[in-house]
Structure 1
């Protein structure tokens, strides 16, 4: 496994109706590096967002979808999602404010 720095772990936030409803319970959803571990994701969130304390991390690996263009078939890239649960006394993540 390649050495991944904490700023390479989180690729982008996932903004859907389901993830926005989960923010009321201090759960935030991110698209993360496919080889990142739960401890690396926890470290990245705590370092990138000031005042946050992570209670737990749930991850899911998503396979690429099969796509067809004419007679040729291909697959999109595999992705990994992480749902990060913050503690009660933790500060909120600012990038989701105002959405």
Structure 2
């Protein structure tokens, strides 16, 4: 397992229709490092975004898709996605405001 710092864990926010609907319930979706654990994701969100308190974290591993280039077949990289539920008294995450 890699030695991950909190700023290496969250790669980018995922903005889809489904994730935008979940934001009303204070659920935020992020693409995270494939080796990150739930406790590491919780720590990273609380350190990166001031005033946030994480209630729970759901993670899912996504396999790479098969892609073809002519006769050669390959796979894209595996990814990991995390859905972070904030507590009721927690602040909103700033990067999602105004979307």
Q: TM-score, normalised by structure 1?
A: 0.99
- Gaps spanning 5+ residues in structure 1: where? none
- Gaps spanning 5+ residues in structure 2: where? none
| 3-state SS, counterpart of residue 22 of structure 1 | helix
Compute the RMSD of aligned alpha carbons: 0.3
* Matching residue of 2:34: 34
How many residue pairs get matched?
99
The answer to whether residue 55 in structure 2 is matched with residue 55 in structure 1 is yes
Distance in structure 1 (CA, Å) of the matches to 2:19 and 2:77:
22
The answer to whether residue 78 in structure 2 is matched with residue 78 in structure 1 is yes
Per the TM alignment, residue 28 of structure 1 is displaced from its structure 2 partner at its CA by 0.1
Distance in structure 2 (CA, Å) of the matches to 1:25 and 1:2:
32
TM superposition outliers: structure 1 runs of 4+ over 4 Å: none
